[in-house]
Amino acid sequence: MDVTKIINLINTGITFLQMIGGAVGFLFFCWGAIQITTSGWRYQQADRGKETMVYAVLGLGLLLIGGTIVRLILTAMGANIPLPTGVGG
């Protein structure tokens, strides 16, 4: 197997996992917002919702940083990794 194909496979895998992780993080963020909205005057439920939102944002940040670090390492090894073009791009 060619090295370029392996690097492209790794890049595609990272992009796929980041999309899945981003969707899961967004859903957890929304779930935390729903917990806060429906908490009424129950502070314990509002705190759980706030913690869920904070952990979702931290997870999304770690996901972004981790993918960037792997791409930087691959680029430092001489890989020519194209930037993600986004939806429809």
Separation of CA 76 from chain center: 23
CA–CA dist 30, 49 (Å, integer):
9
φ, ψ of residue 47 to 5 degrees: the values are -65, -40
Chain segment 17-66, per-residue pLDDT in tens: 999 999 999 999 999 999 999 999 899 999 999 999 999 999 999 999 99
* Model confidence at 1: pLDDT above 70: no
Domain ranges of the chain: 21-76
CB 19 within 8 Å of CB 86: no
- H helices of 1-89, in order, are 3-37, 43-76
